[in-house]
C-alpha cells in the first residue's frame, strides 16, 4: 500500500478506501456502511484533512450526534466505522496514530415505547377474532419478540409442532438495487440472521401452536405468502398499521411488538438470561440496558413483596 502524500487527502477519502476493503461482507451490511458514510460522515467530519484529524475532533463529532437526536444504534455504527477506518489508516500509514479507546458513546438511551396493557388486550382480542395468517404472525411477534424481517422469513419447516418451537434461521430485508435487471430502486432478499445469536430456537405458546395447525401448509412455503415467494415486510407493516387504526390504538412501528414482549417478560419475572436468548441478543448486558427499567407499579410490588417476606421471617422467629 502506497502512502498518499496529497495534502487534500481528507477523512472521506480514507473512509471510502476502508469501505472498498469490505466487498466480501453481506450486501446489506455494505450498503448500511455506505449509507452511514454518505448521510452522516461525508459532509461533516469527512471534510477534515486526514493530517489534522485528532482525538478531540472525533469526540466532538460523536457528542454532536446525540444533540442531533441520532439514534443510539446509528451512533454505534458511526463509531464503528470511524474507529475501523482509522485503524486501517494507521496500519497502512494514511494517517498518524490516534488514540481511540477513550472515544465512546454516551449511554443515554431513550425510553422504549411499548403497548400499554389495555392496548395490548384490545389488540390481541382483535387479532384472535376471525384469525388469518397475517393476524397470527402479528400475535407470534407479540409472544416471541421476533423482528419483522424474521417473521417474514419464517417457513413452515421452521415450526416444530412436536416440541412447540420455531427456529429463526433467515430474515427478509429490502436493500438498494445495484443490478440493472429492473427499474426498481430496491429489491427484497433473503439472508441469514444479523448475528450468530440471532439464529435461535424460540418456544411457542400452546395457543399459538393450536392456531398454527389450522394454517399448516407446504414445508417449503413462507407462512405469510403461503408460497415459495418472499413476503415483503412493508406489506406486513401496512397491515399492522391498519389493524392499529381499527383498534383505535396510536400508531407506533412494528418493532414496538418486540419491545412489548420483552417488557412483559420482565414484568412476569422471566430471568434475564432466558429473555436474552429468546430475543437473540449477543449478551445479557444488551437486554439489561434496553429493558430492565422497572415501572413504578413493579417497584411498588417489589417493596410490598419485601415487606411481606420480612414479616414472615420475623413471625417465624
Span 97-109, average pLDDT: 79
Residue 308 inside a domain? The answer is no
211-237 confidence digits (pLDDT tens) = 999 999 999 999 999 999 999 999 999
- How far, in Å, CA of 292 to CA of 295, rounded? 9
Q: Among 239, 254, 269, where does a domain finish?
A: 254
Total count of domains within the chain: 2
Q: Give the CATH number of the domain where residue 71 resides.
A: 1.10.150.130
Residue 317's pLDDT is 46
Grid cell locating 267: 414484568
Grid cell locating 256: 414496538
Considering the entire predicted model, what is its pTM? 0.75
Written as one string, the DSSP assignment of 72-140 is: HHHHHHHHHHHHHHHHHHHHTTSS-----TT------PPPPP---HHHHHHHHHHHHTT--HHHHHHHH
In this structure, the answer to whether residues 139 and 56 fall within a common structural domain is no
137-186 confidence digits (pLDDT tens) = 999 999 999 999 999 999 999 999 999 999 999 999 887 877 766 677 88
**At a CB cut-off of 8 Å and minimum separation 6, what does 181 contact?**
none
**H or E, element range at 315:** helix 296-316
Backbone angles phi, psi at 76, to 5 degrees: -60, -40
In this structure, the answer to whether residues 180 and 85 fall within a common structural domain is no
Residue 2's pLDDT is 43
In this structure, the answer to whether residues 85 and 121 fall within a common structural domain is no
Task: For residue 62, give its domain range.
Answer: 11-91
- Averaged confidence pLDDT in the chain: 88
Q: Give the CATH number of the domain where residue 250 resides.
A: 1.10.443.10
Residue 314 inside a domain? The answer is no
**E strands along the chain, which residues?**
159-160, 165-168, 171-176, 186-191, 200-203
Residue 54 inside a domain? The answer is yes
Amino acid at each position: 500500500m502506497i502512502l498518499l502524500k496529497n495534502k487534500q487527502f481528507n477523512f472521506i477519502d480514507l473512509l471510502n478506501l476502508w469501505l472498498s476493503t469490505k466487498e466480501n461482507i453481506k450486501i446489506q451490511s455494505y450498503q448500511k456502511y455506505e449509507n452511514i458514510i454518505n448521510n452522516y460522515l461525508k459532509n461533516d467530519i469527512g471534510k477534515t484533512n486526514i493530517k489534522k484529524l485528532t482525538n478531540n475532533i472525533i469526540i466532538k463529532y460523536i457528542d454532536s450526534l446525540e444533540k442531533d437526536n441520532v439514534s443510539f444504534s446509528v451512533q454505534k455504527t458511526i463509531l464503528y466505522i470511524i474507529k475501523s477506518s482509522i485503524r486501517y489508516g494507521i496500519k497502512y500509514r494514511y494517517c498518524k496514530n490516534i488514540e481511540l479507546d477513550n472515544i465512546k458513546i454516551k449511554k443515554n438511551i431513550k425510553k422504549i415505547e411499548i403497548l400499554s396493557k389495555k392496548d395490548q388486550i384490545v389488540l390481541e382480542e382483535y387479532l384472535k377474532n376471525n384469525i388469518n395468517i397475517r393476524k397470527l404472525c402479528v400475535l407470534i411477534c407479540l409472544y416471541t419478540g421476533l423482528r419483522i424481517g424474521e417473521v417474514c422469513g419464517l417457513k413452515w419447516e421452521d415450526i416444530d409442532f412436536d416440541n412447540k418451537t420455531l427456529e429463526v434461521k433467515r430474515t427478509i430485508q429490502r436493500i438498494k438495487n445495484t443490478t440493472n435487471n429492473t427499474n426498481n430502486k430496491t429489491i427484497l432478499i433473503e439472508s441469514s440472521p444479523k448475528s450468530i445469536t440471532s439464529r435461535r430456537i424460540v418456544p411457542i405458546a400452546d395457543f399459538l401452536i393450536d392456531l398454527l395447525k389450522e394454517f399448516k401448509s407446504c414445508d417449503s412455503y413462507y407462512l405469510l405468502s403461503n408460497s415459495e415467494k418472499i413476503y415483503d415486510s412493508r406489506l406486513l407493516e401496512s397491515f399492522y398499521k391498519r389493524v392499529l387504526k381499527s383498534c383505535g390504538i396510536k400508531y407506533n412501528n412494528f418493532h414496538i411488538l418486540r419491545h412489548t414482549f420483552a417488557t412483559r417478560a420482565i414484568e412476569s419475572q422471566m430471568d434475564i438470561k432466558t429473555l436474552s436468548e429468546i430475543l437473540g441478543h449477543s449478551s445479557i448486558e444488551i437486554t439489561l440496558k434496553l429493558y430492565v427499567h422497572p415501572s413504578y407499579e413493579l417497584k411498588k410490588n417489589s417493596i410490598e413483596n419485601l415487606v411481606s417476606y420480612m414479616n414472615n421471617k420475623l413471625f417465624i422467629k
